[in-house]
Amino acid sequence: GAVVSQHPSRVICKSGTSVKIECRSLDFQATTMFWYRQFPKQSLMLMATSNEGSKATYEQGVEKDKFLINHASLTLSTLTVTSAHPEDSSFYICSAPGREGYTFGSGTRLTVV
Amino acid sequence: DAKTTQPTSMDCAEGRAANLPCNHSTISGNEYVYWYRQIHSQGPQYIIHGLKNNETNEMASLIITEDRKSSTLILPHATLRDTAVYYCIVRVANNYGQNFVFGPGTRLSVLP
């Protein structure tokens, strides 16, 4: 089945630094990748949609200059959290359309200290 | 996409069937019912989906009412590893440009 590999699974970074999260589609091509954020005890909230070869579209309230998305190939999409602050600490999850529904990455637990 | 309503939480004894209900009274004719689950600190996992016929796979069964306004996900023999948040989502299939919208889901606790 379709697999999305997400890396890293967890990261701790200092406030003010940047963190890159990668999502790779392993056995299929993902022209679209969805990026979600999930705070503790809450549901997944869509942050942005990335499309291979074009600019990402961001949901209302999500700063595009802070959450940089690159989808340069059909198998790789990256999310970079720039100048991270403690309030950016969250669980970040990517997702791509697969054969049956959408396939989700395993998530990245970001902690900003 | 049609809105769904699910109970906030449910308990189930290990080895028994877990029946998770979902109401989707405003579902459109071309919208499917999808079920995903999320085990703590993991990404959501696809379980099953259907349009109007009942569906079964190795993980679960999906029973959709004739009027399609509600459905039930059945885990036939729940194990402790089935403890998770279960999300019922209705949406048009093969609309790859559109994301899945997650509600709060049902937190299923399988008890020993």
pLDDT exceeding 90 applies to what percent of chain A? 80
Closest-CA residue in chain A for B45? A104
Between CA A97 and CA A99, with CA A98 as vertex, the angle to 5 degrees is: 135
pLDDT exceeding 70 applies to what percent of chain A? 97
Handedness of CA A28, B100, B102, A38 (dihedral sign): positive
* Confidence band, pLDDT 50/70/90 cuts, at residue A2: confident
Closest residue to B97, CB basis, from A32, A95, A103: A32
Average pLDDT over every residue of B47-63: 95
Predicted local distance difference test score (pLDDT) of residue B105: 96
B5 in contact with A, Cβ within 8 Å: no
- Beta-sheet pairing, A108-112 with A10-13: parallel
Give the residue from B1, B4, B46 with the most A CB atoms within 10 Å of its CB, the best one to mutate.
B46
Predicted local distance difference test score (pLDDT) of residue A101: 75
* Confidence band, pLDDT 50/70/90 cuts, at residue B67: very high
CA distances from B9 to A37, B47, B60, B86, B89 (A): 22, 18, 19, 9, 17
Average pLDDT over every residue of A65-78: 93
What is the 8-class DSSP label of residue A83? S
Residue B21: asked if its preceding bond is cis (omega within 30°), the reply is no
Residue A91 distance to chain B (closest CA, Å) = 8
